[in-house]
Structure 1
Amino acid sequence: MDQARSTISKIFNGEPRSYTRFNLTQNMEGEDSQVEMKLSSDTDEEAVGGNGVVENHKHAPYASSVPYAAHKPAGRTPRSLCFMMAATFLILLIGYLIGYLAHRKKETATCVASTYPVKESITETLVETGSAPLMDWSDVKSLLKGKLSDSSFERTFTEFASDNHRAGSDGDEVLGNKVLNRFRLCKMQTWKDEHFVKLVDLPRSNKVIFKGSELGSMSGFLAYSKTGTAQGGALHGNYGEMDDLNKLQDKNIALDGRVLLVKAGRISFAEKVANAAKLNASAVLIYPDPSDYNGIGGSTQLYGHVHLGSGDPYTPGFPSFNHTQFPPVQSSGLPTIVAQTITADMATRIIGKLGGRNPPSGWTGMMNLGNDSDLVTVEVNNVLADKQVVNVFGVIKGYVDPDRYVVLGAQRDAWGPGFASSTVGTSVLVELARAISDMVKNDGFKPRRSMVFASWSAGEYGSVGATEWLEGYLSSLNMKAFSYINLDRVVSGFKEPKVSASPMMYGLIQSTLDEVNLLSDTKSLYSIIGQKWEDKVIETPRLDDPIYPFIAFSGIPSVSFRFTSSNEYPFFGTLQDTREKLSVATSNQVAKLAVSASQFAGHIALRLVHDHLLRLDVDRYNSEIRSHVVKVYSKFKSLMSAKPQLLPKVMTVQWLMSASGSYSRASRTLSTDILNSNLEDVEMCRIINDRIMRVERDLLSPYVSAREAPFRHILLGSGSHTLKALSEHLDLLRGNNLKADVELFRNQFALATWTIQGCANALAGDIWSMDNMI
């Protein structure tokens, strides 16, 4: 009877799925075993008040078996027989009604027929049969828009603005508590995540001496630089990109022992230093060129880090919990040479006195490159210190799949005021949390999946807080966190939107651009951008992008965006990143732009928790994989034609092409399965969504160490396991480069092939759906 009542209740009331946990307890005194049955669900684990999730009362019916002899059989009276007959009849009637209703449901259910991803019109007409009625998407957008305003952002900016909130400082802790209180006011479930990491305190004794004269006070620094003293002749290396350094070598200028002077920009500080170290330079000096940093001032100091990676470089691959002593190892991304920032005025003093040869064509801002007699001494005395950093979280739980969640995050720390780098992003984070919590609590919006809001610390040191969290909970996040939305630096101008993201999110980004207006313009961003929006908007995720560890280390589809201008905001990484500077850069439109940024991030997040299927397009990786495979195929054929004896005859690029074809077939199979599935079925949607969620993670190479090569993504990562490295190795083989290794190439080739094939197999679904074509 209870089972029938439960079934009917689920049909009409859409009660969430419950899972049964059996606890078998053996009586220690030798009596018969007792069976304890407890019904529970994710929403029963903890009462949640503020996000609109109704608190469920825990039911714990217990059925304990007692020795049979202890019970006296009851007599069968006419009255009891009548009760039994009535109960039997009632059960039969209920069973008939259940069967009839189920049959009617199958007859009337609308068969969904659409191409993947699910089209807008179809998504809006589906009727949710689980516990979360599907609100019309246009209503969701209107609700969010109505809860975000310029005035609320002005108040939030004032609350979270701070002149001193470096990672691990008292100011950082104060801001973290403010974020936590904001989440609690929204009645969200909150928690903290603490890590003890190595950060660099402000150095006071770093020096740069040029031709016997000290350049001046050095308050700026590069965290994680090698400490010590280096000396050598000055040499200008433009921006320090490998193409720049190769041009110097083409002019027969050796970098061995030289102090490389490079401009800030284009690539990260860490990449500049790593490139110089590869060519045996002794030190690197980085300065802001006035043509790139307009208005920054000649005496402005730069701050940054030079760890070619993310997270605490002294616990690579491991989380830094509670001073836990992991094996004594350092990240391979730590630099092997000293590095220091200098001001534009200091750089001018050096550049004006350089001798040597003329710069390559296209290089500006220098007359000569420098020679061995232009002696520079660089002394770096950075001091590492153990600091506690705290990440702060709040969650709005989903109603259908609460164990699946999108994460929205923003860094909280900054070198100085950090208004554009952290204050705006933190404000967008808490305002979105407030707005969406209110939608759930008061307006009837019920997200199918959960939303986690995260405030990170130590972002300026290379996403340390976020990466330590990923390292600490990677096994839990693998099949639960299906997307990450970064809110750092979302406002630095107002003319151009720029987005870096996983290709799986391009379709969702396009639809969001079509829904969001910039400032008070009546036109959407997409209509303003026009055709070929990807060429104008999309950027490849870089090493210093906050989403990089989420994609390349954790395999979580992610997106980072910003509103900028043709001239990039020049005050990031300085102590001049103030509200006044950002107001000038945005024509006093900071609050309005923050509203637009919140709508952009909010639409992406809400779409991901609103729809039956995740709006992540697995088919987009077809073209990404195919373009790499075509490049490898062309170079492979060229190598075999020029040097047929170099590689074994049995080796063929067909293996890699077949793996690419397997992925293409698997993505088409998924589209077919969606066409033939009833998307009103909660369990069916969960199965399909799980297949979608696996793709990004399965593009992480399983054949390399997460400690030694943390960015394991074969398309967006870095290291010898990537398809880009495979293509570059073919160039080395053809050019008889000393670094070329035929056996290493064969190993790279095989592992890349099987990584793609493994991803295709997982995407195909059931084991009997997999096709081994290699």
Structure 2
Amino acid sequence: MMDSVTGLISGAAGGGAQANEDVEEGGGVRRRAPPVELKLVPLEEGSEVTLNSDITSALMLQQQIDRRKAAVYLTLSGLLIFTTAFLLGYVAFRGMCRLCGNDGDLIPLSDAAGAQHSAEGGVMYMAELREMLKKYLKEERIEDTLRRVSRASHPPGSSEGNAVAREILQNLQNLRMDHTWTDSHYATLQFPSRTQRNTLWLVDSEGAELEEIPLDSEGYCAYSATGTTTGGVVYVNYGRREDFDQLRAMGVALNGSIAVARVGGAVSFAEKVWLAQEAGLVGVLIYPDPADVPQDPRRLGLHSDAVISEHVHLGSGDPFTPGFPSFNHTQFPSTQSSGLPIILAQPISANVASKLLSQLSGAGCPRGWQGRLPYVQCVLGPGFTGPGERRVKMAVYNTMKPVLLNNIFASIEGKVEPDHYIIIGAQRDSWGPGAVKSGVGTALLMELARTFSNMVENGFYPRRSLLFVSWDGGDFGNVGATEWLEVRTRVQTSLKGDFSTKPIIYIINNSLAFRYVTSQIWKYYGIFGFVPNERGRIHEHKAPFRKQLSAQAFKVESFVSQ
């Protein structure tokens, strides 16, 4: 031990002497450092050897720090390599399956005529399914179906409506489907009276009729209250909540008056009537303003004598069986939907609205309320100009009628989850010819059914069951669909008829059918190419004006399985 210590100290001393052999002073003069003499003092026998050298302690501490740093660097490097490898693998897999569903489901397939896929795996990706849909879809069939189902008005329960239903059922039966059937419900619908016409009069202060204002005999608001009422006329713009709030702030008398509201404003007829009822009005007249609905006597727009009809039930389904299904005239406790209005509602034409609004007196309209009715200075009412007090009397004589609704179903069973359904449905009925709404939806529905049927013949099978449904009673608040859903709620997704959703229908809508149908509609002078219009009568969603259609204009309804 003594020899080791002596060697260590001697080495250190020697190194130190060598290092201090030359010393540089200021001015660049170098001199030799004086020699260092080390004297070793022998330890007494039995004493303990102790190293107090600063150099030795520093060397030992540095070695410990280096070991710790090396361990930390190795750990961080390992984590970095693992994370990088994981991310690269994840990105590579998602790139292969970039069009898979959000839940990562793949679509089982064994299709010899389809896109390339693994023979042993029996699965296909969404990109391959899209190519198959493009291959099998036939655009000319969409136009043919659209023309056939838009020949004439076909409301629920009519002979025309039953004829369209039989044609659709026969076409679905001719396809390769696992099952085809009908689902029937008796629902209470409202129609114009055959014996009394809905009427509008100008009356004096005593109620004597001064002038009858002619109305379209076929235009009406389904589920309006019935009877007669009289009051002043108030212009309420679109009949939105903010419009009524502004009228109250201006001090306009609303109680006991009859509202004149414009079509549109992102507010349905039912909402307009409901808000007017809350505000204390006794009736609502709804008209299409040229600012919202283009009008053109050359038949490129809505005629100034045309009306737009829509139901005013603030809800869906049969309003006399709220929350439970109606079928086979089953008797339930006497009840009705709270969404039924208790005031009168009637659609009127732009000409009738111009006649009424041009005679109003009162405060001027707020900024932005001015429409484009000719010869109308925008005032709010409720009074009329000229001598004497005049008011408006309206009478609504709609009648309730039980109607048998027939929903038509065709199904392709899923191979993995057959009890979960993807419903592709379209409204079939229409108050008018219905080219824009029920016609487009039915045409797309039938072409999709034919396309998937051909795919099944070539080996394709879906993971979940596919239901193709033609709904009845849509113009009355989706009555057929609602009644069926009140019986059966175990569905995965419902894609409702004039639809745009993803992934499958979104692809079809934007790349093929949607663009094709809209281009065909406008090729024939707007909707009039499909909708013959007599005396300018037109109904909701069947207006022959050039309407900018987009995917956002088509409604989607989803129902999650319970």
TM-score range, shorter chain: 0.5 to 0.7
> How many residue pairs get matched?
426
In structure 2, relative to structure 1, the CA distance for the partners of 1:471 and 1:111 (3 Å cut) is farther
Offset of residue 198 of structure 1: 1.1
Offset of residue 439 of structure 1: 0.6
Per-residue CA distance 1:85-116 (angstroms, 9 max, x = gap): xxxxxxxxxxxxxxxxxxxxxxxxx999859x
Structure 2: gaps of 5 or more residues = 1-85, 111-120, 204-209, 295-300, 372-376, 384-388
**2:483 maps to 1:468:** yes
Letter in 1 for 2:368: G
Equivalence for 1:225: 224
Per-residue CA distance 1:334-361 (angstroms, 9 max, x = gap): 0011111111100000011001111112
Equivalence for 1:208: 200
In structure 2, relative to structure 1, the CA distance for the partners of 1:113 and 1:515 (3 Å cut) is farther
8 A contact 1:416–1:576 mirrored in 2: yes
Pick from 126, 129, 137 the counterpart of residue 126 of structure 2. 137
Distance across 2 between alignment mates of 1:451 and 1:487: 15
**2:182 maps to 1:192:** yes
Offset of residue 321 of structure 1: 0.6
8 A contact 1:417–1:575 mirrored in 2: no
Distance across 1 between alignment mates of 2:315 and 2:357: 31
Letter in 2 for 1:277: Q
Offset of residue 174 of structure 1: 1.4
Per-residue CA distance 1:649-708 (angstroms, 9 max, x = gap): xxxxxxxxxxxxxxxxxxxxxxxxxxxxxxxxxxxxxxxxxxx956xx6xxxxxxxxxxx
In structure 2, relative to structure 1, the CA distance for the partners of 1:413 and 1:381 (3 Å cut) is same
Distance across 2 between alignment mates of 1:430 and 1:570: 21
- Match of 1:370, SS state, is strand
8 A contact 1:232–1:259 mirrored in 2: yes
Distance across 1 between alignment mates of 2:505 and 2:341: 40
Offset of residue 133 of structure 1: 2.1
**2:274 maps to 1:285:** no
Equivalence for 1:450: 465
8 A contact 1:419–1:577 mirrored in 2: no
Pick from 132, 144, 149 the counterpart of residue 160 of structure 1. 149
Letter in 1 for 2:136: K
Per-residue CA distance 1:460-494 (angstroms, 9 max, x = gap): 01111111111122xxx2xx311111223x5xxxx
Offset of residue 367 of structure 1: 2.1
Letter in 1 for 2:317: G
Identity of aligned residues (%): 36
Equivalence for 2:422: 406
**2:394 maps to 1:381:** no
Equivalence for 1:323: 329
Distance across 1 between alignment mates of 2:409 and 2:421: 13
Equivalence for 2:491: 481
Distance across 2 between alignment mates of 1:516 and 1:119: 24
Equivalence for 1:121: 97
In structure 2, relative to structure 1, the CA distance for the partners of 1:483 and 1:562 (3 Å cut) is farther
Letter in 1 for 2:287: Y
Distance across 1 between alignment mates of 2:365 and 2:272: 18
Offset of residue 122 of structure 1: 6.7
Equivalence for 2:233: 234
Offset of residue 157 of structure 1: 2.6
Per-residue CA distance 1:209-268 (angstroms, 9 max, x = gap): 124311103321001111011111110000000000100001012311011111111210
In structure 2, relative to structure 1, the CA distance for the partners of 1:579 and 1:153 (3 Å cut) is farther
8 A contact 1:318–1:326 mirrored in 2: no
Q: Output aligned runs, 1:606-625, within 5 Å.
A: none
Q: Output aligned runs, 1:386-535, within 5 Å.
A: 386-442=402-458, 444-473=459-488, 477=489, 480-488=490-498, 508=502, 518=511
8 A contact 1:140–1:445 mirrored in 2: no
Distance across 1 between alignment mates of 2:240 and 2:542: 33
Q: Output aligned runs, 1:727-742, within 5 Å.
A: none
In structure 2, relative to structure 1, the CA distance for the partners of 1:247 and 1:127 (3 Å cut) is closer
Q: Which has the higher contact order (CA 8 A, sep 6+)?
A: 2
Q: Output aligned runs, 1:271-282, within 5 Å.
A: 271-282=271-282
- Match of 1:404, SS state, is strand
In structure 2, relative to structure 1, the CA distance for the partners of 1:283 and 1:437 (3 Å cut) is same
8 A contact 1:210–1:350 mirrored in 2: no
Letter in 1 for 2:494: Y
Distance across 1 between alignment mates of 2:470 and 2:212: 41
Per-residue CA distance 1:172-223 (angstroms, 9 max, x = gap): 1111111111111112111111111111223341111124311103321001
- Match of 1:317, SS state, is coil
Letter in 2 for 1:484: S
Offset of residue 377 of structure 1: 0.7
Per-residue CA distance 1:282-312 (angstroms, 9 max, x = gap): 1111111111110211111221111000111
Distance across 1 between alignment mates of 2:403 and 2:154: 13
In structure 2, relative to structure 1, the CA distance for the partners of 1:353 and 1:128 (3 Å cut) is closer
Offset of residue 118 of structure 1: 7.2
Distance across 2 between alignment mates of 1:227 and 1:242: 24
Equivalence for 2:206: none
8 A contact 2:238–2:263 mirrored in 1: yes
Which of 1 and 2 has greater Rg? 2
Pick from 305, 308, 311 the counterpart of residue 311 of structure 2. 305
Distance across 2 between alignment mates of 1:441 and 1:156: 22
Structure 1: gaps of 5 or more residues = 1-109, 491-498, 502-507, 526-560, 606-615, 617-691, 698-774
- Match of 1:156, SS state, is helix
Offset of residue 135 of structure 1: 2.1
8 A contact 1:306–1:334 mirrored in 2: yes
Distance across 1 between alignment mates of 2:88 and 2:487: 40
8 A contact 1:190–1:394 mirrored in 2: yes
**2:266 maps to 1:261:** no
Letter in 2 for 1:318: F
Pick from 132, 137, 146 the counterpart of residue 135 of structure 2. 146
- Match of 2:361, SS state, is coil
8 A contact 2:310–2:540 mirrored in 1: no
Pick from 156, 159, 169 the counterpart of residue 170 of structure 1. 159
Distance across 2 between alignment mates of 1:258 and 1:464: 32
Equivalence for 1:666: none
Distance across 1 between alignment mates of 2:96 and 2:275: 47
Structure 1 length as normaliser, TM-score? Answer: 0.50
Distance across 1 between alignment mates of 2:539 and 2:137: 25
In structure 2, relative to structure 1, the CA distance for the partners of 1:261 and 1:515 (3 Å cut) is closer
8 A contact 1:317–1:471 mirrored in 2: yes
In structure 2, relative to structure 1, the CA distance for the partners of 1:517 and 1:468 (3 Å cut) is closer
8 A contact 2:308–2:539 mirrored in 1: no
8 A contact 1:130–1:400 mirrored in 2: no
